[in-house]
């Protein structure tokens, strides 16, 4: 028996079940609990054991969940788990592919969950066919080697975008994934609103609300652009122009250019705060609560700074990221930690100010060390 939340999964020998996906499921259940009601319906497009959909029914107060799995053994497994958890009244299941389902069924969904093995890209277009104004897409991609640039050609082939293969790859990968969804959504006259996104272990997950209308679609497409990065001085920017700057404005070196990708917001702090509150009030695991709490405190400023990467680039000793944050705040900037990299910070300061604070912290640490020696 595998128990998680209020779901008890008795059968999983013939369907995939990953205990390490619990944090993703915890956040997704809380997200739906905050936004759904008993009249809402959801599509669990990659059901496997059915654990996600079962938790949505039992913990998020959702009215109806449709389960899909093309593998007949997995389908039989999820049906057994649906019966065992006594949620059959709220569940309907099909053993079919996402493509077949989207082309044959006329239903539209309030929430669509896609958590495949590998890339989500091949299924996005079909899921847009069963979407409507206000549909919320919860999309996972586990092909982090592709989105993080280790397989650049694969990323360009699958997501039609060039990735970043450096310390910024997690955020750039998320923005590539969102940008891909925005482009496809635009073809269906949908704009997008990104409500949450995170990178964890081997996967990236985004939560997106669709807004129907040509004007909204165009507005979202207008937020596609490029991320630029200077390997010499560390300068980085998001550029919404169709033809981004090719030379660094600080040192005139050639810039690495990634994209096209999403340049807009990747957090809605109002929703994230509500998710955090719900998780605290309903006794979720401490790890999940701490993770969403970090996201809640994280600035929505683009392209974080890895402090170890920066100190190496500057040729100086290691500096605590927390000290750099304190220094930046002292100088009037905003700064925070980021869940994407425990050694990185987010700030509205430019690279020069971050370097200045890094040196200031190094000097302060050296003075304190000398004082301790003298004592």
Quick count: other Cβ atoms within 10 Å of Cβ 315? 6
Q: How far is CA 284 from CA 54, 115, 213, 291, 363, in A?
A: 17, 21, 38, 11, 42
What pLDDT does residue 372 have? 59
Give the sign of the dihedral formed by CA 336, CA 165, CA 258, CA 249: positive
What pLDDT, on the 0 to 100 scale, is given for residue 106? 79
Q: For residue 57, what are the contacts with CB-CB under 8 A and spacing of at least 6?
A: 65, 85, 87, 90, 91
**In the chain, which residues fall in CATH 3.40.50.150?**
2-277
Instruction: Check residue 370 and give its pLDDT.
Output: 62
Instruction: Give the pLDDT of residue 11.
Output: 83
Of 274, 264, 331, residue with least CA distance to 301: 264
Specify the pLDDT at position 52. Answer: 97
Residues with Cβ < 8 Å from 124, sequence gap 6 or more? 114, 139, 180, 181, 184
Decide if domain 306-374 falls under CATH 3.30.56.70: yes
CATH superfamily of 2-277: Vaccinia Virus protein VP39 (3.40.50.150)
Looking at the chain, the domain(s) classified CATH 3.30.56.70 span: 306-374
Q: In the beta sheet, which residues pair with residue 203?
A: 200
Residue pLDDT tens, the chain, 375 long: 999 999 999 988 889 999 999 999 999 999 999 999 999 999 999 999 999 999 999 999 899 999 999 999 999 999 999 999 999 999 999 999 999 999 987 799 999 999 999 999 999 999 999 999 999 999 999 999 999 999 999 999 999 999 999 999 999 999 999 999 999 999 999 999 999 999 999 999 999 999 999 999 999 999 999 999 999 999 999 998 888 989 999 999 999 999 999 999 999 999 999 999 999 999 999 999 999 999 999 999 999 999 999 999 999 999 999 999 999 999 999 999 999 999 999 999 999 999 999 999 999 877 666 655 554
pTM of the model: 0.95
Of 248, 153, 238, 170, the residue nearest 204 (C-alpha): 170
Count CB atoms within 10 A of the CB of residue 126.
Answer: 17
Question: Largest Cα–Cα distance in the chain?
Answer: 79
Instruction: Write phi, then psi, for 136 (nearest 5 degrees).
Output: -110, 120
């Amino acid at each position: 028996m595998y128990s998680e939340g209020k779901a008890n999964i008795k059968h999983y020998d013939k369907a995939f079940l990953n205990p390490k996906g619990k944090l993703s499921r915890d956040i997704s259940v809380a997200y739906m609990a905050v936004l759904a009601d008993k009249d809402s319906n959801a599509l669990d497009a990659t059901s496997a054991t059915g654990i996600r959909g079962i938790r949505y029914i039992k913990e998020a107060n959702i009215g109806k969940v449709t389960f899909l799995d093309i593998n007949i053994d997995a389908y039989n497994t999820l049906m057994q788990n649906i019966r065992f958890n006594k949620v059959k009244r709220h569940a309907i299941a099909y053993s079919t592919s996402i493509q077949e389902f989207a082309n044959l069924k006329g239903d539209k969904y309030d929430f669509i969950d896609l958590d495949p093995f590998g890339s989500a890209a091949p299924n996005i277009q079909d899921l847009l066919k069963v979407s409507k104004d206000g549909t919320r897409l919860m999309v996972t991609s586990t092909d982090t080697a592709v989105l993080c640039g280790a397989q650049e050609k694969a990323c360009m082939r699958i997501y039609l975008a060039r990735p970043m293969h450096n310390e910024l790859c997690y955020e750039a990968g998320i923005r590539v994934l969102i940008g891909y969804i925005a482009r496809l959504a635009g073809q269906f006259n949908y704009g997008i609103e990104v409500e949450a996104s995170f990178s964890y272990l081997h996967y990236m997950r985004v939560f997106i609300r669709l807004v129907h209308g040509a004007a909204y679609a165009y507005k979202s497409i207008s937020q596609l652009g490029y991320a630029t990065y200077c390997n010499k001085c560390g300068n980085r920017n998001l550029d919404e122009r169709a033809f981004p700057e090719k030379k660094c404005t600080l040192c005139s070196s050639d810039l690495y250019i990634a994209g096209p990708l999403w340049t807009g917001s990747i957090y809605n702090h109002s929703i994230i705060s509500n998710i955090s509150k719900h998780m605290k009030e309903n006794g979720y695991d401490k790890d999940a609560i701490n993770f969403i709490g970090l996201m809640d405190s994280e600035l929505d400023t683009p392209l974080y700074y890895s402090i170890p990467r920066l100190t190496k680039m500057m040729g100086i000793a290691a500096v605590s990221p927390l000290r750099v944050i304190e220094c930046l705040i002292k100088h009037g900037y905003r700064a925070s930690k980021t869940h994407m990299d425990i050694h990185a910070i987010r700030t509205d300061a430019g690279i020069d100010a971050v370097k200045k604070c890094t040196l200031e912290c190094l000097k302060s640490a050296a003075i304190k060390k000398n004082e301790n020696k003298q004592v």
